[in-house]
Every structure is written in C-alpha cells, then in structure tokens.
Chain A
Amino acid sequence: MNDLLRSPLRKQVSFPQRFDPKTWSISEVESACGSAKCLIWLERCVSLGCKMMVFVVATLVVSLQSVSAQETSTHPVVPGFERFIDVDEITDVERGSLLINETNCHSCHAGGETAMSVAPKKAPILTGVGNRIRPEYFEQFLMDPHGTKPGTTMPDVLQGRSQNDKKKIAESIAHFLAATGSTNDTPPLPAPMAAGEKLFHSIGCIACHDPQNTKSSLPTSVPLGDLSKKYTIPGLVEFLRNPLAIRPSGRMPHLNLDDTEAQQVATYLLRNIKLKSNINVAYYEGSWDKLPDFDSMKPVSKASVPTLNPAVGRRRDNFGLVFTGFWKVAKAGVYKFRVGSDDGSRLLINGKKIVDNDGIHGMVFVEGTHELPVGVHEVRIEFFEKGGGEELAVEVSGAGLPKQSLGGLLKTEKEPPMPEKGFVLNKEKAKLGGVFFQSVGCANCHDLLVDQKKMVSSQPAAKPMADLRPVGGCLDGKASTPRFGWTEKQRRSLVAALKTPPALLRGGNSQSTEDKIGQKMMTLNCYACHERSFVGGVVDRRGESQEVHGHEKWFVSDQPEMGDEGRLPPALTGVGAKLNPAWLAEAMESGAKERPYMMTRMPRFGKSNLGELVSELINADQLTDPVVVEIEMSPRKLKQIGKAFAGTSEKENGLSCIKCHTFGKYKATGIQAISLTTMTKRLNKDWFQKYMLKPSRFRPGTRMPESWPAGKSFFPDVLDGDANKQIASIWDFLSDGERAAKPKGLVQVAMQLVATDRPRIYRNFIEGAGSRAIGIGYPEEVNLAFDANNNRLAMLWYGAFMDPSRHWNGRGQGYQPPLGDNVLKLPEGVAFALPAVAEKEWPKTSAKELGLRFGGYRFNKDREPIFLYRLGDVQISDFPEPNVTEDITNFVRRFEVAATETSSLWYRAAVGSKIILLKDGTFDIGGDYKLKFSDNIRPVVRTSGNQQELLIPLDLTKGAVKFSQEYIW
C-alpha cells in the first residue's frame, strides 16, 4: 500500500489537503479504503449537502483502488482536467465541456452552447512574436507540437499531409512569424539567475509548474518544455512582464513582476542558454587608482567572451580589462547608457567617451545618452579593479530597444560571417508563410496584426459545433483534421459533452452559483493555491515542508512560526463574505501582496477573464444575521477606545493586536502578521465583527486568538462590556488606515541601564561579548563586558552602559552593542592556556573544549563582581576594578591564580599588530591602548602570523600568583 501511494498513479490525482492520504499512517490508509473513516467523511459531506466535497472523498477511494496506466504529457494538459480527472462527482460532460473550452474548439466550430461560465481560452497573440521566440523554434514546433512542447493544447494542424508538404508549410510559417520581429540573445548571468531561482520557487510559479530544483514532476503541473530552445532572455522577459498581453485569457496569470524580477526569472528559466563568445577582451595587470592608458600597455592576454564579466583573468585584484565589440544599430535614435562598476570604468562608442565612471569606488552607476545612426558602431568598455569586490554592468535602452545588457548586442567583428546553421530570414518564404497562416487554420485561433491589419483565416469554415458528430475528426486526429493527442479519458469526456443536447449542457437552468464558481476556479486553476469548501488548496508535494524533501523554496514564509497559515495562500471558503466587493475585485483583477510574511503572490487575472466571479462569490457566501451595532458616542472617542484595544497598554483596554500584526511600516514585536492598517480596506465590516468574536469559525486552526471567549469581554467597563460594540470601535479606529493614530506600545522607546550607587549587571546577548555576556556598568561611568563562553574580558568602554530595549521588548532576539563610547575590544578566544597547548600557536578552540570552565562571580563589599574560572586544578580569580586617576578612569584587573598540581600556565594579555615595550614600562598594543603590569611578572612578546601577542608565563609551583594589569585607553 505504501508503495502504491508513491506510485506514478498519484501523478494524476490530487487530493485536497484535508484528505491527503500521505498524512495518514499506513494502517489508517489501509483501513481507509471502503472503511468506516471514509464512510464517516462521506456522511459528513452528504449531510452538508455539498456535492464538491463528496467527489473528493470518492476520489480518494477510487484512486486507491484502481490502477491505471501512467500517461505521459503528449496529450493536452489542462490543469483543471488533470486535478479532477478521477473524481466521480464531476461528470464526463463537465470534464468534456472544460476541454472544449480550454482547447478553444469554438474558434473553428462556431456556435453551440457551452456548459462553462468562463470564456474559452484564447490562443497566444502572435503580433511581434518574432521578438520573443527563436525563429528555429517555430518550424520545429509546427512539425511536432507535442514532441516539442509536451502538454501543449495546440493541435498538430498539419496532420495528414505528406512530410514534404508539412515541411514546406512549417518552414514558410516559421519565416512568416520570424519576420514579425527580431530576437536578441543575451547570456544568462549568475546573479539574476540565483535571484530568479529563488523567485520562481517562492512567488507561486510552482503552484502550476514543476519546481526546477528537483528532478521529480508533480501532479497537475503544466509542462514548460525546453524553454531555452524557445525563448531568448529578452523575449521571455517581455512575456513575463505582462503575460496577459500575449496570453489574454489569464490561464497564465500576471505575477506583477517588475523589470528586474522578470529579468531574474527569465534568466533562471533560460539558464541553459549557451552563447558563443561575442566580445573581445584584453586583460591587463597593474595597480591603479584611475583608469590607465591601456593603449600604451601590453595586455597579459586576449580572448573573446560571451559577457562583460570582469572575472575573466587570473586576478581578482589589481587588474584592468578592455572589452571591444561591434554593435549593429538597426534603428537610429537617442540611446541611453547606464554603466555601473566597482572600481572604475568608462564607455566609448566610435572612440568618443559616452559615460565616465572612473576612480576607486563601490558599485556606482553613471548614465549617459548618445544619438546613433543606423549602422555598425565600435564599442569599447574600459575597466579596472584595485582591491575588494569587482563588478561591471553596461545597460542600454532607447529608440524602441528595451533595457538590456549592451554586451549581448556586440559582435567580435564588424561584419560577422553568416552563422553556418543559424536561421536566415527569407522574405519569399515569409510571404508564403503568411498565406499558409491564413489557410491552414492558424488564424482561426491566433490573433496577429501585420501592418496594423489582422490576419484573417481563409480556411473553409468547419462544421458548427451543433452539427458535430461525436466520432472521428479532431477526436481521433487520424484523418487530415488537427491532432490534439487526446487520451482515452479526454476523448470519452469530449464525446460525452458533444453528445449532450445543447439545452441540457447547462443542466437545464439548474447550474448553481457555486457550480459557476467551481468552474472558474477549475479553469483558472485557483484550486492550485486555494481551497474552497474542502476542494483544492496546495496539495501533494507542493505543499510539503522543507524537511521532507530537502528543498527549501516552495510555499514559504519568512515567519516559519506562523505555520501553514503563514506560507499557504488562504482558503477562499466564504471569501465573498470576508472581502469587500472592491477589494475582492481588485485582488483578483490586479493581484495582491498584502501578507508580508507570505512569499507567494496573488497574481493578476485580468478583469475580462473573471466574468461574474466577484458577484458570484458575494452571492454564494452571504452571511446571515448582520451584526447591528449602535453606539451613542463621538466618533473620536470611539476611535480612542479602538486604538486602546489595538495597543498594549495595560492601563487601558489593550488587546495587544500590534504584538502580532504589523501596523503600516511599524513591525510587530512577535510574528509579522498582515497589517492592521489595511483591514478596513480589505474586509467587510460585518465579517470583521463576526470573525473577531470567533476567528476559528472562519479560519480553522488560525493562531488568531479569541479575545472575547464565548462572546464575553475582558473589559466589562468599556462600551458596556458589549463585545460587538468593542469590536466596532476597533473597526472605526482602523478605518483611518495609514493615517490611524499609533496605538500604545507601537514605537519602542530606547532605555538605558544606569549604575547609580552600585555596579549594574546585565547578562544577555551583547555584541562583541558573545551569547553569555556579562555586562557590568560601574558608577564611575566605565563599563565592561565579560564573555562567559570563553572566560575572557571582551570589551571596555566609557560613558553610558547598555540599552536593554532590544531584549526587554518583544521576544528579545539578537545582540545589542554597548551604549557608550570608546569601546575597546579585547582579543577573542580564551585568555589562559597550558603551555603545552599554546606553545606553537595560541589555541583557537573553545574554552569548554580546552577544559576552561566558568565558575560565576562573587561580589566584594562595594558589590563589584570578581569573576571566577578554572582550568583543571587551576583556579583563577579575576577582579576588574575601576581605577579613578586624576585625568581619566581606567580599569585595573587583579588576578589570583592558584593550582594544586599544575606547575605553569600562560596568560595572553593582549594581541595587536605590533606590541612595543615603552620606556615607562607600559606596553603599547598596536597603538590602540596601553597595558601596565605589576612588577612581579615578565610579559613576553611573541609574533604569530602578522600579529603579535603579549604572553605572560605564570609559575604556579610556589603558591598562588597574584598580579595586576592596568588598561589605559
């Protein structure tokens, strides 16, 4: 049974999460088939009268008991069909109607009724397709659509012709389409590729497509095919920037990618593009502060490369590069150039300096413009790097050219020879192709404007839908009709739909609003992300957590503590009641990103593709018994009360909403849940009233607490203790949106720990002193931090002691630096070691591994701590004491080291670039500070690598050694 669950069979079926058998134990799954559990579920479902729920349960049983052959995706992949392929409660008629809609049968077969409440899926608009898709791809795709792009819904329209004819037509149409534009290949660069990988796997692409960072294929995935054979990077960027402009039906929605993101995702998806070297580069070595005169120097080497990547030579520092190439400008105009570099660079065209970005600096961009006539222009980019990081980017845009890397436009020679195998546009073939485009049926489905004129099909009209007989033709694709590659199941569904009299297709007039919603969610694949009434949602391996499969990037949240609520798109059950009509429309039409913690975005589907979905959702989800609240109070006072609820003040009626919810730009102190300032923009007031009373009624499993348990308020004195009134006050307060007054507790006030009459202690995460830092602030206004992990004095500083607000507000994450000034940082690592361990090199291992253990501290009569630690039998007491002198207050440390057996120990008192013994007997440590020791010890300076250390050997054979060390800084 276990193996069956993992078998390819599951590829075809997806279970709504709640029923996912993978989350059942083996024995439970075994007993599930036909057992009580399913029956119970069935009973529940039936009792709720929800057809959709029943078929999901039915699916579970059916799919576990039947085994059918795995089918490859040489058939048209329609996500809604795949998702509900084995669900008995969806009829073949419904499935067939979906296929008819999604393969756009109506574009050839006019008229006829459709069961769907969604407009048929239109074929891609091909105007300008020559700018996006490689010319070589068209012919290959036309010759073999399913072999070239598995899962495509485009049929083989040349089916039934001789191979010669087919080749001729395909070749001609390819030239025709290629002539609509021109492609420009640019290489996939590593930085956008890495960013694109992250985006692709987190923003929601993998809801419909296979993840690319694992080999496995997921159920219901829409195959992408070999994209690098199809698109150039600029071509795919154009598509991703606005998929709805090219595929207008919203089946591939618009993810609201900006230019940079589109570039990143396209680069990642086309990471397999390998370009020939098209830029000449000369590599120089030397150390400069400005660009040198490269022409007067001899390059170390020369080469040709595919990108303007500065990492071409053997050096990462102290080198220079000169890139040269020829740019064929097809359209005269003013071009804008943007040159970024670290360190300096300049751009020259035809010997003229266009952009100067010289000097030593980080990645800095400088812009310039230049007018260029049509023709071939010589481009030269000079670059140098002295030290640190190195980067170079040269972008061009203007005169109709979208922003892109100039490197991609260059050729190594002024008149490059024709590539041997490359595509060369033939105008005659293109002309012929235009005719074929109209005659073989392409124009039936694809919009294409040539010279502002739409291509019109000249193909004889196919039979109207109503006259189709459900046999032969496109259904089997054997004759000279288009071949879709239907599976047997798809064919059966189509036949069923075609056999059904038009009047019955919509089930009489009985199609319910919920059915219409379901059809739209199935068609637009909303179910890939959202559950509604127990159907759909992120399922299968798409929704699994990273620990299971070792991948990290699917449906994630930057707030893992929020659990699934933080990473999976919300259920749409009842959404029509939850969201106000304007926001509901806005979110679906234009997309949304209101949940800061959730990486997945709600994409833009476009208004025209949603039909009546907004009103259908509103009608279906209406809540009964609206909450009516009447409050006799000034609006300002009511908002004050609401504000107090949102805040954390215990004197008022604080419910601490801002602990978990962000408030506009202000972060919450705990998890970062959706901003309070957008609530009234998004929600219906009535829903808000009801949700606040019992959040789990609307979001089962939510972490949102019930602040009015059983409808009772914790604040009986506020607004008559009436929960509804109190909730209404919050709504009124939040309705001010971004302008709302700031609730108490929102802005963290800095704090300061002050030592007045005795030293102040602060044990916490102190930056520079480790996770077990012990900060001591002295009334003398000097401070220290002791590192109890390594038993070392870590820092000394003057003035203010510590600001504990980071650790004393919120959850207290992270390290806090000293608040004062003149922070002296002392050597890291342990300070004491046995000679045998430290002889060659001072040990880098942790104190615990070396046996050095922290023992705590005791206080003297002035409440000054004396630190205690030990190394085996050696006991060390370490008493730092403020030393008030006439001009400045320092620290003196008094050590007492005693042992019962160990004879000698080394103390490393300091580490610096150079340690010098000065005439007055003090040691200068790298010019940063001075040390003065008691007379009874003999410090030794040891050079170790490029540093020096001050070592103090301690002879423990004659009893305890006491010595002092003064810090002067």
Chain B
Amino acid sequence: MKNLMKTCIYAAVLALALHPLLLQSQEKAVEKPRGDDYYVIETVPTPSGVVLEGGGIEFMADGQIAVSSRRGDIYLFQDPLQKDPSKITNKLFQEGLHEVLGLAERDGWLYATQRGEVSRLKDLDGDGLADVVETVSDEWEINGDYHEYAFGSKFDKNGDIWVVLCLTGSFSSQNKYRGWCLRVNADGTTVPTCSGIRSPGGIGANVDGEIFYTDNQGPWNGTCSLKWLRPKSFQGHPGGNSWYKSTEAIGARPKDPVSGSRIMAEAKKIPEFEPPAILFPYRKMGQSASGIVCDTSSGKFGPFQNQMFVGDQTFSWIMRVDLQMVKGHYQGACFPFITGLGSGTLALEQAPNGMLFTGGTNRGWGSRGSKPYSLERIQWTGKVPFEVLNMKAKHDGFELKFTQPVDPKTAGDVNSYKLPTYTYIYQSSYGSPEVDHVEAKVTNASVSKDGLSVRLTVDKLYQGHVHELHLDGVLSSAGKKLRNAVGYYTLNYLPEPMKK
C-alpha cells in the first residue's frame, strides 16, 4: 500500500512538472515585489537578450538612469521612478566598452570609468546613441589580468572622479598605479591620491563629500572593509608601493608594514596608514563588499539620512554604515540592512526621491542571489523599522540612538546586551581568522528620558577591535524586537572624555 502511495506521488509530481501551461506560466511570471514591511525590492526590466551586469548607475539630469555593464554596454532607462516598474523602457546608449564600473554625468557628458581609462560620452545628434567616446584620462596601465579592475566615483566638489585601481592578481602591482587611487578631473588632469589599495568593490562619498571605497578580504586585508581615501594616505596593502617612484604627488614612500601584526599596531608606526573606517566581519557582514552610496534623500528613504549603504556581492545584500570622526579619523558601526537581492550586489545609486537602484552580477564570483545579473530598485514603504539608528563610541562605552523609543526596562538592563570583541591579523598572506577575542562587559545601560537613546558603559574598550554589539534583549516601548539586533563597531581610536 505504501509503495502504491509513493508511485502515485511520483506520478503527480511528474505530471505537475511536465504540465505545459505550468511551465509557461513559470517562465512568464512577472516578478512580485519582495522585501519586508519597510523596504520593497522591485525588478527593473532589462533589454531582452542583453546580459546587463550592472557595474555603474547614474541618475541623469533629464530623469533617465544610465546603467553600465561588465560586458561594456551602457543603457538608458526612461522614467525609472514610475509606479509600475515593469513599464520602464530602455535604450542602448553605447556598446563595446571595457567593463564600465563607474558612471557620472557632468555638463551634458556621461563619464564612464573603463578598465583602461576614464572616457566621456555624448549624443551629439539626438538619436539616443553616443556619437563620441573621448578619452579623459588613461594615466594608469593594465595587462590581461582579470583582477585589474578600475572603479570610478561620482564627481566630487572639485569636479574630480576618484578611480581606485585593483592590484594585478590581487597580490602585486605589475603595472603602473595598480593599487592606487587617482583623481581624474573633468578636464583630464590626473593626480595620484592614495596608495595601498588591494581589490576594490565600489567607491562613493559620505555626507561630508569625503570619498570612501570598499576593499576585499585578501593579503593585508583580514576581512572586507570600508576605507576612507584621505588624500596622500596609504590604505594598507604595500603591493603597489613601488609606484611612489613615479610621482611626488603624495610624498615619499611610507615604511612597509610588518606582516603578522595588527592594523592599529602598524598605524601607530606608519603615519600615512589610514586604518579601515569599518571592518565588515567576514561571513557575518558579507564576504565581498561592493558599491557605496550615501543617503542624501533627507528622509525619503527612511530614518537613516546621511548614513552610507554598502553592498555585498556574495551575500546579495546591502549593509548600513554609521560613521563617526574620532581623532581626525573616520570609524563607526555597520548593520545589516536589506537582504534578498536578485544577484551579487555591485553598483548602488540613489534617485532624488530616495529610491535606491542596484545592479548585480554573479559572474566569476558566486552570490546568494542566484540570478546572473540584475537591476532592481528599492523603496521605503514609509513605515519606520525599529533599529539602532546610531552607534557612537564614547571614552567609556557607546551611545546608541534608536529609531523608535525603547522599553526602558529591557533597554536599561545590562543583560540585554553582549559585547564580544576581536580583531584580525594584518598579514601578507590571504585573509585572517578572527583573533584576540575578548568580551567587553556592559556595566551600565542608561535610557534617555525620551527613550530614544541608551548610554552604555563598559568595563573596557579594546582599541583596534571590532566591538560586536548584540542587543537581543532590547525591546521597543511597543514591545517590538529590533529588526536587526546586532551592530559591529570598528574601534580604531578611543574618543577622549568630554571636557567639563
């Protein structure tokens, strides 16, 4: 009898699987919006037959968005903010460029960062296709190594595009300026700006207009990170330092770091070394940090205005970063934010109405999102999620701000918090395990009158460590749990106590 049952089930499954209508409906199904109560992810249709592995996105002055692909095409999308995303149309602007990983518009030109150059494109006759592809700067060199990517930023306040150049094969710098950041002005003037770069995944500005890039786990990078491109700084990987011989723009070659040390131990010895502002703990906060965008929508994308969003290719998600300036250096906390994107998240761009556009790829590197490429937009539903809004270091602990008032009882209980800390080995071999684990103890948690802040005091802060704050016990005044009950603060520098 049981066997008979089984056979019946097989037959049913087979029949279902082979049903022609079912197959068809699966293929033609319009993708439903995904996400949660707070953020909705919608797929933007891409040109049929084109693999649009979104490497760069630019919201243009005329309301279109330009999307560039790893295969070298640029498409323009018309009316991208309209309610029904399936109605968004697109048109080819230029094809056949060399892996464009950065788009920025200025004075009617679209600037594209290709592997070998920054170019600018323009449609002169109004037929929608670019009629000129002009080389703006090709001050760096490439060979046939796939790793030699170039990521270009938007224009900064001086009219510069910042270009970060991946090392050759991620270990060494066999061609000029591999492992460097160059600033390319709209007029073509190119200035070497930073050294020490390994393998960038994205570049973008924070609210102050300072430029940051993401670097990836590998040699001299124990885990992925967000790094501040302070001009003339060294970003940590000495592989490209031989090019100091080619320029005086950022001074003399810094001392090489010692392998097997710790980031802050070396930062003390090497003044040029700018420690990573945010370490994204490997496998906890992604595995391949990518695109960067700052929320400048003044609240149209939720309560996180002026914070940064950072993609992760492997995890197909977006993280949230809250920065703080301590002793002249950026550092701060990162939190999970939006999960479940279609492909490996690469480019990020925000539209003036707050909508976030993201392009993805999983070519060469696998991702949780299983699509080979994707173009998606994310909207805030208007509901405020209960989240840690800010996590700022104080000399003796942290100050937390929440998006909604907390329940004073749970938030005021030190047992609602856990604070393990750890760091990574700063070494020439690939990556690092978490090391030097020490648990910091929350000794006091005091809730502000309005319930929106909690001041945590701890027994000790550990310089150079990621402070991984778990707040599983904290409830909102309405009894809700946090949407993300964890934050990771990279404590490079200890803030001084406030003067009385």
Contacts and interface: CB of A to CB of B under 8 A. Distances in A.
Interface of A: 18, 20, 22-28, 36-37, 40, 44, 544-545, 547-548, 560-564, 566, 632-634, 637, 648, 650-651, 653-657, 659-660, 669-670, 696, 700-701, 703, 705-707, 709, 714, 760-765, 771-772, 774-775, 788, 804, 808-815, 853-859, 863, 868
B148 to A, nearest CB: 8
Interface in B300-353: 314, 340
B429 A544 contact: yes
Given A760-B96, A763-B114, A545 B429 contact: yes
Interface stretch (B247-255, B260-268, B378-386, B443-451): B260-268
A634 B218 contact: no
Contact of B27 (A651, A810, A855): A651
Given A564-B430, A701-B433, A858-B133, A771 B142 contact: yes
Given A23-B261, A24-B261, A771-B141, 13 more contacts: A20-B260, A28-B436, A544-B259, A562-B430, A637-B13, A655-B366, A657-B366, A696-B283, A707-B368, A714-B340, A760-B95, A761-B96, A857-B133
Contact of A23 (B27, B138, B287, B435): B435
B144 A765 contact: yes
A761 B98 CA distance: 10
Interface string B259-289: 1111001100000000000000011000100
Contacts of B45: none
28 contacts: A23-B435, A24-B260, A28-B262, A545-B427, A548-B428, A561-B430, A563-B218, A563-B430, A633-B10, A634-B13, A637-B13, A650-B371, A656-B362, A670-B364, A707-B368, A760-B95, A761-B97, A764-B72, A771-B143, A772-B142, A788-B117, A804-B71, A811-B147, A815-B144, A853-B135, A853-B138, A856-B133, A857-B132
Chain B interface size range: 35 or more
B17 A650 contact: no
A650 B370 contact: yes
B135 A855 contact: yes
Interface in B468-495: none
Contacts of B71: 804, 808
Contacts of B259: 544-545, 547-548
B131 interface: yes
A23 B425 contact: yes
A480 B17 CA distance: 86
Report which residue of A22, A660, A714, A763 has the largest number of chain B beta carbons within 10 angstroms of its beta carbon: A763
Given A634-B10, A854-B135, A714 B364 contact: no
Report which residue of A653, A657, A857 has the largest number of chain B beta carbons within 10 angstroms of its beta carbon: A857
B134 interface: yes
A659 B369 CA distance: 14
A772 B117 contact: yes
A817 B438 CA distance: 55
A633 B143 contact: no
A854 B362 CA distance: 33
B437 interface: yes
A37 B435 CA distance: 11
B153 interface: no
A20 B431 CA distance: 16
A36 B462 CA distance: 12
Contacts of A23: 260-261, 425, 427, 435
A656 B364 contact: no
Contacts of B355: none
B51 A808 contact: yes
Contacts of A863: 129
B31 to A, nearest CB: 12
A690 B309 CA distance: 33
A558 B437 CA distance: 32
Nearest to B433: A701
Given A27-B265, A714-B370, A856 B132 contact: yes
B193 interface: no
A545 B428 contact: yes
B488 to A, nearest CB: 16
B37 interface: no
Contacts, number: 191
Nearest to B373: A650
Contacts of A804: 71
Given A788-B116, A813-B145, A815-B144, A656 B366 contact: yes
Given A25-B265, A28-B265, A633 B438 contact: no
B157 interface: no
Contacts of A772: 98, 115-117, 138, 142
A659 B372 contact: no
Contacts of B147: 811
Contact of B438 (A40, A703, A811, A814): A40
A77 B13 CA distance: 66
Contact of A650 (B13, B364, B372): B372
Contacts of A812: 99, 146, 364
Interface string B385-429: 000000000000000000000000000000000000000010111
A858 B132 contact: yes
B59 interface: no
Interface string B168-186: 0111000000000000000
Given A561-B218, A656-B362, A701-B282, A632 B144 contact: no
B14 interface: yes
A18 B371 CA distance: 38
Given A634-B10, A709-B368, A763-B72, A564 B431 contact: yes
A597 B283 CA distance: 23
B363 interface: yes
A585 B27 CA distance: 48
Nearest to B73: A761
B160 to A, nearest CB: 20
B336 to A, nearest CB: 11
Nearest to B438: A40
Interface in B52-104: 71-72, 95-99
B119 interface: yes
Interface string B120-163: 00000000010111110010011111110000000000000000
A705 B287 contact: yes
A560 B438 contact: no
Nearest to B121: A856
Given A25-B265, A701-B431, A772-B117, A706 B283 contact: yes
A37 B438 contact: yes
A768 to B, nearest CB: 12
B207 interface: no
Contacts of A775: 96
B184 to A, nearest CB: 14
Given A545-B259, A762-B96, A855 B134 contact: yes
A465 to B, nearest CB: 45
Interface in B1-47: 6, 9-10, 13-14, 17, 27
Contact of A703 (B129, B131, B287): B287
A705 B365 CA distance: 11
A847 to B, nearest CB: 10
A669 B365 CA distance: 8
A237 B429 CA distance: 35
Interface string B199-210: 000000000000
A809 B362 CA distance: 10
Given A564-B430, A656-B366, A857-B133, A648 B372 contact: yes
A859 B129 CA distance: 10
B476 to A, nearest CB: 22
B71 to A, nearest CB: 6
Given A28-B262, A651-B27, A705-B314, A547 B428 contact: yes
Contacts of A637: 10, 13-14, 17
Contact of B144 (A656, A696, A700, A814): A814
Contacts of B282: 701
Contacts of A545: 219, 259, 427-429
Contacts of A764: 72, 98
